[in-house]
Structure 1
Amino acid sequence: MRWFGFGFNAFGQICVQEKLDKDVRSDSEVKVSNPTELRSHVDRSCCCLKTSHVRASWSRRASLHLDDGCVCLAGFGVSSSSEDWSVSPAESRGCKDASISESHLSLAFTDRIETWDLQKKEATPSWSMEIKAQSESSAVNFPLVPGGYVTSKPPFYCSLSPQLKAKSLALGGEHAVLLTATGAVYTWGLGSHGQLGHGGLVSEEEPRAVEALWGMPMSSVASGGWHSVCISDGGDLYVWGWNESGQLGLPSRGLRKASQEKCSQQAEGLNQDASTSPDKDLQEGEKSEEVFISIQAFPALLDVTPSCEIRAASCGSRHTAAVTTTGDLYTWGWGEYGQLGHETLQSSDEPQRVEFFRLEQMHVVDVACGTWNTFAAVVKEEVARS
């Protein structure tokens, strides 16, 4: 399985330009708009072709190799020598999962959780917790741990009621989305942008069921900076929260207005006749103003593509990515750093297929979004068919 990345690359979290002057970065090196294969630039024995999972924050990427149970870092604070890492691959060996933030790297082992401070070079974790050894069949998805979950900032561990029977958990900017074993969705935390899906903008201190999804079992959940998504057992995608950059795939006033202004400028430059004048474009925009959605406080069904179902989804700060059962990757939302993978820096409030992978005859099997970038796992099409 191979991993590709695109989007924000100011710290080399996608690809490193070895001859690049650290103080002078070109726009093309900071913004990677074309999917680029991840390569290990620190430890040549740690090949990114063996990467099983990618976890990313704003300035860093963690590549998890499940075959030998180690984590490799890329991005801010990672030098060309593994000896200078705050956490070396050897110290992570044996881990089963990981999460990374701007300040900490958390590692999940079968018998313990370790959190390392990435801003300090210490020989031991800044926080650790022993847990009862989990069998492969009973293991839950990190950051869930027995009895609760782990966050990226103190106090690190938060408890959860065992009655929830948590299956997986997604942590957003300041909110959480939990999936239970029965397929129910619970949310809590900041609700100012409708990201909790309860129909209002009120925050919740304790997990509360998303009633609009009650009776429809979900298979996975994901959360962004101020929005949330989930996938039903039938492969449908539901979205809610902030839509300022089109990250919900619903009509965005800001994006449509910018598009109209661009069309108006082009029309003026080409001296268009009255039938296609800027005034007419603006009038049409005003007529459709009522369909613009800035906040979607209830879950809404998003028809990404009518031909197939959704198998995986991930959220960045203000963009979203989804993988279909046919192996295509669709992205939408904020695209200023190329995180949509369409070889442009344009944002979009409509799901668009990343054509690069189809042209290269690659089958996308997983996706993981960083704050301002996107990482996709692929296999060759003939392997996917077999």
Structure 2
Amino acid sequence: MRWFGFGFNAFGQIRVGERVVDKYDTADGVNVVTPVELKCHVDGSCISKISELRASWSRRVTLHSNGARCLCLTGFNAVSGICGTGCTDAIVGESFLILAFTDRVESWDLDNENKTPVWSMEVKTPPDGAAGASLDLPLICDGYIATKPPFYRPLSPHLKATRLALGAEHSVLLSASGAVYTWGLGSHGQLGHGGLSSEEHPRVVEALWGMTMSSVATGGWHTVCISDGGDLYVWGWNESGQLGLPSRTARAQKHQSSQTVADMSSYKDTPEAAMDKEVFISIQAFPALVDVTPSCDIKTVGCGSRHTAAVTSTGDLYTWGWGRYGQLGYETSYSDEPRRVEFFREQQMHVVDVTCGAWNTFAAVVKEEVASS
């Protein structure tokens, strides 16, 4: 399995060694539109295969299996000396790196050069056969771990969590029964309860009640989940088209790019007038079904700050939302319609997994002939 990345590269988190720290909004080399294969070190010394990848705004962390599992941190202030050998999972934020081992969880401060973790906690191993017996970060046996203090957050045992995702200011949990719970800030409809109120404690998303969900993901202020049948449900902020629903920003760009100066001088029904007749969604406070592609199901999904990426059952990658830094895998600043990343199809690569940083996207692929959809 090989990993490719595209999007924001100001700190060399995609192309290792390319670091732009000043005026990265306009600097050359910041945007990576065409996916490039990931490497860990400039000299290529880390040759073991990537087994897991997590990303934040300015960094990515990869786990490698080469005998003992080891960790590689890439991007802004990628300090050395962090002991990740033997860790089973990791998540990275803008200040702290969280490492999970079989018997403990550690937090490392990325803003100083201390060679020891700033926080550590022993963890219990769920009994074999128990719900959530194999838990991925940020979940642990009796709660979850955040990327900023307080690191440990307890969860009620009755929730029986199997997956948990953290947005900018909200959380979403998937239970063993396939129910979805959300809590935190709700100002952009990201909780899916129909309003903009916040929730202090986990509350079930009633609009999905009776439907079994298999996966959940969060962006900065939007939430997505996949049903057992491969359907994709979305809710929250849609300012950049990250929900795949009609967005005024995305449609304005589309109208503008489709009209030449000559067209505009003689066009009676201006693009602005045409847009006034359309219905746009800036906030979707209830779950909405998005038809990414009618020919196949959705297998896995990832969210950036304001973009979304989904892998289909045929091994294609579709992206939509904000794309200024190339994080959609094609040239556009905004898209409110799912669009296939043609690079992987052209290279006869079958996409099997996807994860997103705030402004970039990472896809795991295998070399395989992809059937036409």
Q: Tell me which interval the TM-score lies in, with the shorter structure as reference length.
A: over 0.9
Q: TM-score, length-normalised on structure 2?
A: 0.93
Q: Aligned pair 1:349/2:339, yes or no?
A: no
- Which structure is higher in helix share? 1
Residue in structure 1 matched with residue 152 of structure 2 by the alignment: 157
Question: Paired residue for 1:256, among 239, 246, 251?
Answer: 251
Over aligned residues, Cα RMSD in angstroms?
2.1
What are the within-5 Å matches in structure 2 for residues 28-47 of structure 1? 28-41=28-41, 44-47=44-47
1:132 aligned to which of 121, 124, 128? 124
TM-score normalised according to structure 1 size: 0.90
Residue matched to 1:202: 197
Given the alignment of the two structures, is residue 378 of structure 1 paired with residue 365 of structure 2, yes or no?
yes
Match of 1:55, as an amino acid? R
SS of the residue corresponding to residue 261 of structure 1 reads helix
SS in 1 for 2:345: helix
TM-superposition CA deviations, 1:72-118 (whole Å, max 9, x none): 0110013xxxxx5152xxx1111111100000000111100011001
1:301 aligned partner, one-letter code = L
Q: Distance in 2 between matches of 1:362 and 1:164?
A: 38
The equivalent residue for 1:119 is 111
Q: State how far apart, in whole Å, the 1-side matches of 2:20 and 2:141 are.
A: 46
Q: Deviations over 1:150-206 (max 9, x none)?
A: 001111000000000000000000000000000000000000000000000000000
Q: Name the SS of the counterpart of 2:269 in structure 1.
A: helix
* Distance change >3 Å, CA 271–CA 246, structure 1 → 2: closer
**Alpha-carbon distance between aligned partners in 2 of 1:17 and 1:155, rounded to the nearest angstrom:** 33
Q: How many residues of Structure 1 are paired with residues of Structure 2 in the alignment?
A: 366
For the residues of structure 2 that align with 1:119 and 1:144, how far apart are their CA atoms? 24
User: How far off is 1:43 after superposition?
Assistant: 6.8
Q: Where does residue 350 of structure 2 map in the other structure?
A: 363
> Relative to 1, partners in 2 of residues 1:221 and 1:261: Cα closer, same or farther, differing over 3 Å?
same
Matches within 5 A, 1:265-304: 266=260, 268=261, 270-271=262-263, 274=266, 277=267, 279-288=269-278, 291-304=279-292
Once the two structures are TM-superposed, the CA of residue 44 in structure 1 deviates from its matched residue by 3.7
What is the CA distance between 1:52 and its match in structure 2? 1.1
- 2:71 paired residue number: 71
Does the Cα contact within 8 Å between 1:110 and 1:134 map onto a contact in 2? no
Partner of 1:81: none
Q: Which runs of 5+ in 1 are unaligned?
A: 79-83
Look up the match of 1:8.
Answer: 8
- Partners of 1:135 and 1:105 in 2: how far apart? 27
Q: Which amino acid aligns with 1:311?
A: K
**Deviation, structure 1 residue 356:** 0.1
Is contact 1:170–1:176 with CA below 8 Å preserved after alignment? yes
**Which residue in the other structure is 2:304 paired with?**
316
Q: How does 1:92-241 map to 2 (within 5 A)?
A: 92-134=84-126, 138-241=133-236
Identity %: 64
